[in-house]
Amino acid sequence: MGLFGEIVDELRGMSIRQFVSQVLGLALIVSSAFMIWKCLILATGSESPVVVVLSGSMEPAFERGDILFLYNGEKEVGTGDIVVFNLPGRDIPIVHRVLRMHKKSGEFDEGQQIDILTKGDNNYNDDRVLYDPGVDWIHEENLLGRAVGYLPHAGMATIYMNDYPMIKFLLIGFLGLLVVTSKD
Amino acid sequence: MHSASYRTNAILTMAFSGLVALCVAVSLTEVFHRSSPEASLKLHHVHYFRPSLVNNDEAVLSFNMKSDLSSCFSWNTKQLFAYIKVVYETDKHVRNEVTVWDKVIKTTEDHKVVDEVFLSKYKLVDNGAGLRGRDVNVTLAWNVMPYIGALYYQEKTFTAKLPSDYLVDS
């Protein structure tokens, strides 16, 4: 009965030609989503223009599961900016606020010109405890971008999907089936 | 045509579009919000001023601040993140910005500071030994953080001069 029965019936009654056309439709949706993502990367200059907040270190401003939109433009990073950065050798980007910045005079390697120290609004201490031992500063090369937009709670689904991968596969499978069988 | 899946799909699509439209509309109202914040900030006293073990100049400051940021709150404002940064130039660095105080302003009650003298929350630490006799900009800045939409910054800048010698009795 219900939704699932309908879908199965739909699949049974389909000709090969119909089936191929539906699969192509699905491929079109997936590739459009991919293209939109790539265009966002071009427009914002950030390799990851939308990120989900994973920790409570910026509370009460940002909670776990909130979405931030990043921009990585020409403007120099300054104290008070909320930046998203990757520490070398670690996969999970961190969202914290710039506490201190010192721009060196003279010539330096690309991305090394500015010394940056960060701190979470909700943390008592600055982030030197998070950086590798002996590392006092991060640099522009570590930055993914500055937070310019905020959308609450919308990233909660991503967190659930990361915590319980089964949900992800079920959801993708179900949506795929739905798209393949739907008639326009 | 009138199957359960079609109806669910239609309802969900409709609800989602409505939600997106509402979110966009709410974040756009911020464009029309006009604020007239008032603030004056003075360096009150230098309580500690000497080089650290690794020869970075360190100072503990206190400030005299009079401010009213209440007009920065709109109906879409979740909080202000107010902070004081000391901005200066040294021989080693063309631009230094050091946060010495910050505060999360959540309610319309605690955004008013009337002639209050307070100690800096973080030490003013230079990345080198370039603070003696330095002319600095002392800036009160605040980050307006919304319930939904764009984050933006405003600031007011004042000037100060640091002592030309370290304090010995601190």
Cβ pair B51, B129 in contact under 8 A: yes
> Of A46, A66, A81, A96, which one is the catalytic site residue?
A96
DSSP conformation class of A91: -
Note whether A60 and A22 are same-domain residues. no
Residue B157 DSSP SS3: strand
- Are A105 and B145 in contact (CB < 8 Å)? no
* Mean pLDDT for chain B overall: 90
Is residue A23, in this structure, part of any structural domain at all? Answer: yes
C-alpha distance from residue A100 to each of A175, B39, B48 (Å): 46, 23, 19
Residue B112 DSSP SS3: strand
Q: Which residue has the tokens 């319309």?
A: B108
Note whether A17 and A100 are same-domain residues. no
Digit-coded pLDDT (tens) for B5-20 = 788 889 999 999 999 9
Note whether A7 and A38 are same-domain residues. yes
Reference B137, options B94, B86, B92, B61; nearest CA is B86
For A33-46, letters b (16+ CB in 10 Å) and e give eeeeeeeeeeebeb
Contact with chain A for residue B52, Cβ under 8 A: no
CA B79 – CA B84 distance, rounded (Å)? 16
Note whether A5 and A91 are same-domain residues. no
pLDDT of residue A110 exceeding 80:
no
Is residue A174, in this structure, part of any structural domain at all? Answer: no
DSSP conformation class of B35: -
Note whether A6 and A39 are same-domain residues. yes
Distance from CA of B170 to the nearest CA of A (A): 24
* Mean pLDDT for chain A overall: 88
Note whether A141 and A65 are same-domain residues. yes
Mean pLDDT for the stretch of residues A99-113: 85
Note whether A54 and A109 are same-domain residues. yes
Is residue A167, in this structure, part of any structural domain at all? Answer: no
Contact with chain A for residue B2, Cβ under 8 A: no
- Taken in order B120, B42, A78, B144, is the CA torsion positive or negative? positive
Orientation of helix A2-12 relative to helix B4-28, angle to 10°? 110
- Are A61 and B83 in contact (CB < 8 Å)? no
Q: Record the tokens describing residue B2, joined without a space.
A: 């009138």
CA A26 – CA A21 distance, rounded (Å)? 9
Q: What is the pLDDT of residue A139?
A: 92
- Are B97 and A148 in contact (CB < 8 Å)? no
Most B-contacting residue of A99, A123, A124 (CB-CB within 10 A), to test interface: A99
Digit-coded pLDDT (tens) for A31-62 = 999 999 999 999 999 989 999 999 889 988 99
Mean pLDDT for the stretch of residues A103-129: 88
Is residue A183, in this structure, part of any structural domain at all? Answer: no
Which residues are CB-neighbours of A94 under 8 A, at least 6 positions away?
Answer: A55, A57, A84, A85, A86, A87, A118, A127, A130
> Which residues on chain A are in Cβ contact (under 8 Å) with B125?
100
Contact with chain A for residue B127, Cβ under 8 A: yes
Contact with chain A for residue B56, Cβ under 8 A: no
CA B98 – CA B22 distance, rounded (Å)? 39
Note whether A78 and A17 are same-domain residues. no
- Are A121 and B153 in contact (CB < 8 Å)? no
Reference A179, options A21, A37, A1, A12; nearest CA is A21
Is residue A70, in this structure, part of any structural domain at all? Answer: yes
CATH number of the domain where residue A69 is located: 2.10.109.10
pLDDT of residue A158 exceeding 70:
yes
- Are B151 and A148 in contact (CB < 8 Å)? yes
pLDDT of residue A25 exceeding 90:
no
Note whether A7 and A40 are same-domain residues. yes
Note whether A55 and A135 are same-domain residues. yes
- Are B78 and A148 in contact (CB < 8 Å)? no
Question: Residue A14 is part of which domain span?
Answer: 1-44
A57 is catalytic: yes
Q: What is the pLDDT of residue B1?
A: 58
Q: What is the pLDDT of residue B169?
A: 65
Structurally, how many domains does chain A consist of?
2
Which residue positions in chain B have pLDDT lower than 50?
Answer: none
Residue B8 DSSP SS3: helix
Contact with chain A for residue B147, Cβ under 8 A: yes
> Which residues on chain B are in Cβ contact (under 8 Å) with A102?
93, 95-97, 127
Note whether A87 and A148 are same-domain residues. yes
C-alpha distance from residue A42 to each of A39, B9, B151 (Å): 5, 32, 21
Mean pLDDT for the stretch of residues A97-103: 95
Q: Name the region of A57 (left: φ>0; alpha: ψ -120 to 50; beta: rest).
A: alpha
Is residue A58, in this structure, part of any structural domain at all? Answer: yes
> Which residues on chain A are in Cβ contact (under 8 Å) with B93?
102-105
Digit-coded pLDDT (tens) for A68-95 = 999 998 788 999 999 999 998 888 899 9
pLDDT of residue A12 exceeding 90:
no
Chain B (66-95) residues lying within 8 Å, Cβ to Cβ, of chain A? 78-79, 81, 83, 85, 87, 91-95
Note whether A59 and A123 are same-domain residues. yes
